[in-house]
Chains A and B, each alone.
Chain A
């Protein structure tokens, strides 16, 4: 009898449990943004509209007279403000602080330049990072978050900026300083850069290209051997485990995206050769010399992540011939990069890659627009286009019911001189600067 009584009480316990699990803190707030001009990006502009945010998602978007404001909503009167989806930067190096150098016993000499370089280069290939997972290195900082959010960015892709195989990027919403809850997609893409390994192999660009090719060949061979082993567990000697090659397999075999950083025109073609050789599902990033050959990019038909950094790359003929030409190129030639791609009918996302702060990036969008980039293309290149490229179009990139509530409210139109971001909602929560 006693046992039966307990038995009946079980659902009550479970209910209590469930409630305590979904603690009130886990239910996001409900907001109503009323009478704003709404630019959903994927649909027509609503001149006077209302947007409902509930528990992290967009619940409703529509004309002000059609959307019913829920009773429990905190209401924001937004007359004169414009609502856009939060901007996305599809390539940054944010939040990846350098690992502190190991303490040096007192009395030991400071490291020489060669030693420092060797240390820096060895880091990405250290045993801890051999799996190329970079999430564990994320250290978000309030000041950086504030800067990006003030400029209207709510989502960024984070990849390291050192090493040849830089790592597997993580895409985060800028919702706080806790790495876990920020993640939208982990191991989003594998990032490669045509750089060298100072103090070790490869020390030259041609060595780097060989190293990249050999790594993919080795990953392929590794996968083949592992497959053999899986079929012949009894009777075949167990092959060795290699975290690096293991990490490459999904990118080589299962078409997870590989992002090649193309710091100049030649590197675009060098990347395309490797992509072709290994049939990779690839994206190209940096690309500030994409303007030099839109035909080759058209033929390649790959997602393009184009930086808003207009500085001509080192070693370019616009740099090696004196400061006057470099300045002219930075002011006149490179800002027209995106405009040229748009004219050629290429789809691209704009990124803040290589820039220290988001405000500069936003100013550079204006410069690009002055150089001929249509405004609406610029907006798409910072919202829905990166969402599509990164496989996040179900969740991000526009103001639609069901999508993540990354919303910015601006005073004045985006990409105008005096425009200010008035409010930012990330994952449905109002950000407090």
Chain B
């Protein structure tokens, strides 16, 4: 195949993709005769799921399709709740506000990019929801955002407003390396350049946030009093401090990039001192060393399945991390942190069956129900239950099998990925590309 042919072919395919969803069921469809892995309510060997207006209306055998509702035959296939990626950076215009160490004002929710084709990649792996995050260049990065993978919809329709508001923190080497000058004549070295500095700067900012909150409280108190002082000037509104104040008031939770157990414990100390909630530690390669402490503090982890030791601070990572911690009562999710791995999160979850001895449901939970809890959306997604949103993926084999593949991805009853349809479009595009072009040069 010539390069020219390939180029046209891929362009035509994307043109077709641009006009997604492949077919819209208008938020209602009936999936028939699949093996339903509900995650929270066991396995139904041969069952149907009816989704009406985006919500799961009924689960059970022999459901009749209401008039006008599309029926999808899932005989011989596995039907699971849509996969949730608890930590990624897709669908954004920019990842890090790396110029300064403390940037909680830099909200990734402000730069959602619904045109990112990584959304398509995610869909092809059964992913329906992602927690897309600020990068790990800064001790305090910025607020993150939870998105549904509704390819073709405007960005604001992707945002899941029900999710917890989360703030990205980061410890360790990424922060240290980002603080070093790489280019000659580039920006000056940034503080902090050590782990102790990282802890200190987060503490310093929390203290500043406290002062900021007190300043506003004092002002509001004076303003509300019957005899406010004559020169009562409102304090400066500081977006950076506003976000930290929200964290300290419990309106947000922390998600902290961390590799080593020691820095995790230090960060947990900060959370205790200032009374903020750590929802999960990201990557947490040494979580197995502090599993009891994490379980006691109700702090989850969001980790890779394997691929440890790719850098010094990951040297003591082990493939048993996720499985072991899950068995110790830590809320574990497996994440992609990547626009490529995102399409095979089910494979990564499956690895915990070998390394850690989780059963099929426990393993599947790592990419469905557990991330839903971590994101505070377990009431609406994460499992196949009546009343939840119709976010569903259909696999040809058991999703924890090495031979499995995602055939269809559905969000709120709309089909956003249909492998058969894609293959057909791809074939047609290839045919078109091979046909002689009208008026083309010989």
Q: A-side interface residues toward B, CB under 8 Å?
A: 111-115, 118, 197, 199-207, 209-210, 213-214, 217-218, 221, 224-225, 228, 232, 235-236, 265-266, 269-270, 273, 293, 315-317, 320-325, 328
Given the known interface contacts A221-B234, A321-B14, A328-B11, the answer about A199 and B187 at a Cβ–Cβ threshold of 8 Å is yes
- Contact in complex: B99, A115 (CB < 8 Å): no
- Contact in complex: B186, A210 (CB < 8 Å): no
Docked complex Cα distance between A205 and B106 (Å): 8
Q: Which of B88-96, B211-219, B357-365 contacts A (4 or more CB under 8 A)?
A: B88-96
Cβ proximity bits B237-257 to A, threshold 8 Å, 1 near / 0 not? 111100000000000000000
Q: Decide if B435 is an interface residue (CB 8 Å cutoff).
A: no
Q: Decide if B97 is an interface residue (CB 8 Å cutoff).
A: yes
Q: Decide if B315 is an interface residue (CB 8 Å cutoff).
A: no
Shortest distance from the beta carbon of A207 to any chain B beta carbon, whole Å: 4
Shortest distance from the beta carbon of A269 to any chain B beta carbon, whole Å: 7
Across-interface contacts of A228 in B (CB, < 8 A): 231, 233
- Contact in complex: B106, A207 (CB < 8 Å): yes
A-B contact pairs, 30 of them (CB 8 A): A114-B183, A114-B184, A115-B186, A118-B186, A118-B187, A199-B186, A201-B97, A201-B99, A201-B100, A203-B97, A204-B94, A205-B93, A205-B111, A206-B97, A206-B108, A206-B110, A206-B142, A210-B103, A210-B106, A214-B105, A224-B234, A228-B231, A228-B233, A269-B154, A273-B110, A315-B93, A317-B115, A322-B14, A325-B14, A328-B15
Apart from A201-B99, A205-B94: 19 A-B pairs, beta carbons within 8 A: A114-B183, A114-B184, A114-B185, A115-B184, A118-B185, A202-B97, A204-B95, A206-B111, A207-B106, A210-B239, A217-B239, A221-B234, A232-B230, A269-B154, A321-B10, A321-B117, A324-B7, A324-B8, A325-B15
Across-interface contacts of A270 in B (CB, < 8 A): 110-111
Given the known interface contacts A204-B96, A206-B111, the answer about A325 and B233 at a Cβ–Cβ threshold of 8 Å is no
Q: B115's contact among A218, A316, A328, by CB below 8 Å, is which?
A: A316
Question: What residue in chain A is nearest B235 (Cβ atoms)?
Answer: A221
Most A CB contacts (10 A, CB to CB) among B8, B113, B142, B185 go to B185
Given the known interface contacts A224-B234, A266-B112, A325-B14, the answer about A200 and B185 at a Cβ–Cβ threshold of 8 Å is no
Q: Decide if B98 is an interface residue (CB 8 Å cutoff).
A: yes
Question: What residue in chain A is nearest B95 (Cβ atoms)?
Answer: A204
Q: Decide if B107 is an interface residue (CB 8 Å cutoff).
A: yes
Across-interface contacts of B115 in A (CB, < 8 A): 265-266, 315-317
- Contact in complex: A224, B233 (CB < 8 Å): yes
Shortest distance from the beta carbon of A270 to any chain B beta carbon, whole Å: 7
- Contact in complex: B239, A214 (CB < 8 Å): yes
Question: What residue in chain B is nearest A209 (Cβ atoms)?
Answer: B110
Across-interface contacts of B105 in A (CB, < 8 A): 207, 210, 214
Docked complex Cα distance between A325 and B238 (Å): 44
B:25-79 near A, CB below 8 Å? none
Given the known interface contacts A112-B184, A217-B239, A325-B11, the answer about A204 and B106 at a Cβ–Cβ threshold of 8 Å is yes
Q: Decide if B156 is an interface residue (CB 8 Å cutoff).
A: yes
Q: A266's contact among B95, B155, B185, by CB below 8 Å, is which?
A: B155
Across-interface contacts of A265 in B (CB, < 8 A): 115
Given the known interface contacts A210-B107, A225-B233, A228-B233, the answer about A204 and B117 at a Cβ–Cβ threshold of 8 Å is no
Across-interface contacts of A204 in B (CB, < 8 A): 94-99, 106, 111
Question: What residue in chain A is nearest B10 (Cβ atoms)?
Answer: A322
Q: B117's contact among A206, A232, A317, by CB below 8 Å, is which?
A: A317
Given the known interface contacts A228-B233, A269-B155, A293-B154, the answer about A322 and B97 at a Cβ–Cβ threshold of 8 Å is no
Question: What residue in chain A is nearest B108 (Cβ atoms)?
Answer: A206
- Contact in complex: A266, B113 (CB < 8 Å): yes
Q: Decide if B123 is an interface residue (CB 8 Å cutoff).
A: no
B:104-150 near A, CB below 8 Å? 105-108, 110-115, 117, 134, 142
Q: Decide if B18 is an interface residue (CB 8 Å cutoff).
A: yes
Question: What residue in chain A is nearest B154 (Cβ atoms)?
Answer: A293
Docked complex Cα distance between A115 and B185 (Å): 5
Docked complex Cα distance between A209 and B93 (Å): 12
- Contact in complex: A221, B114 (CB < 8 Å): no
Q: B156's contact among A210, A269, A323, by CB below 8 Å, is which?
A: A269
Across-interface contacts of B113 in A (CB, < 8 A): 266, 315
Docked complex Cα distance between A390 and B231 (Å): 40
Cβ proximity bits B411-437 to A, threshold 8 Å, 1 near / 0 not? 000000000000000000000000000
- Contact in complex: A112, B15 (CB < 8 Å): no
Question: What residue in chain B is nearest A267 (Cβ atoms)?
Answer: B93
Docked complex Cα distance between A293 and B185 (Å): 43
Q: Decide if B226 is an interface residue (CB 8 Å cutoff).
A: no
Question: What residue in chain B is nearest A232 (Cβ atoms)?
Answer: B231
Question: What residue in chain B is nearest A237 (Cβ atoms)?
Answer: B231
Across-interface contacts of B14 in A (CB, < 8 A): 317, 321-322, 325
- Contact in complex: A200, B187 (CB < 8 Å): yes
Q: Decide if B236 is an interface residue (CB 8 Å cutoff).
A: yes
Across-interface contacts of A273 in B (CB, < 8 A): 110
Across-interface contacts of A197 in B (CB, < 8 A): 99
Most B CB contacts (10 A, CB to CB) among A209, A224, A316 go to A209
Shortest distance from the beta carbon of A56 to any chain B beta carbon, whole Å: 47
Question: What residue in chain B is nearest A315 (Cβ atoms)?
Answer: B93
Docked complex Cα distance between A419 and B239 (Å): 55
- Contact in complex: B117, A320 (CB < 8 Å): yes
Shortest distance from the beta carbon of B303 to any chain A beta carbon, whole Å: 26
Docked complex Cα distance between A200 and B98 (Å): 9
Across-interface contacts of B186 in A (CB, < 8 A): 112, 114-115, 118, 199
Shortest distance from the beta carbon of A264 to any chain B beta carbon, whole Å: 8
Shortest distance from the beta carbon of A321 to any chain B beta carbon, whole Å: 4
- Contact in complex: A203, B15 (CB < 8 Å): no
Question: What residue in chain B is nearest A236 (Cβ atoms)?
Answer: B231
Q: A111's contact among B98, B185, B231, by CB below 8 Å, is which?
A: B185
The 5 closest A-B pairs by CB, nearest first: A115-B185, A114-B183, A210-B105, A325-B11, A207-B97
Across-interface contacts of B10 in A (CB, < 8 A): 321-322
Shortest distance from the beta carbon of B21 to any chain A beta carbon, whole Å: 16
Question: What residue in chain B is nearest A293 (Cβ atoms)?
Answer: B154
Most B CB contacts (10 A, CB to CB) among A235, A273, A322 go to A322
Docked complex Cα distance between A270 and B187 (Å): 28
Docked complex Cα distance between A236 and B229 (Å): 13
Across-interface contacts of B240 in A (CB, < 8 A): 210
- Contact in complex: A206, B185 (CB < 8 Å): no
Docked complex Cα distance between A114 and B182 (Å): 10
Docked complex Cα distance between A193 and B234 (Å): 30
Across-interface contacts of A114 in B (CB, < 8 A): 183-187
Question: What residue in chain A is nearest B116 (Cβ atoms)?
Answer: A317
Shortest distance from the beta carbon of B60 to any chain A beta carbon, whole Å: 41
Across-interface contacts of B18 in A (CB, < 8 A): 317
Question: What residue in chain B is nearest A328 (Cβ atoms)?
Answer: B11
Across-interface contacts of B230 in A (CB, < 8 A): 232
- Contact in complex: A200, B99 (CB < 8 Å): yes
Question: What residue in chain A is nearest B103 (Cβ atoms)?
Answer: A207
Across-interface contacts of A209 in B (CB, < 8 A): 107, 110-111
Shortest distance from the beta carbon of B426 to any chain A beta carbon, whole Å: 14
Docked complex Cα distance between A315 and B93 (Å): 9
Across-interface contacts of B93 in A (CB, < 8 A): 205-206, 266, 315
Shortest distance from the beta carbon of B419 to any chain A beta carbon, whole Å: 20
- Contact in complex: A321, B97 (CB < 8 Å): no
Shortest distance from the beta carbon of A325 to any chain B beta carbon, whole Å: 4
Shortest distance from the beta carbon of B180 to any chain A beta carbon, whole Å: 13
Shortest distance from the beta carbon of A112 to any chain B beta carbon, whole Å: 4
Docked complex Cα distance between A299 and B430 (Å): 42
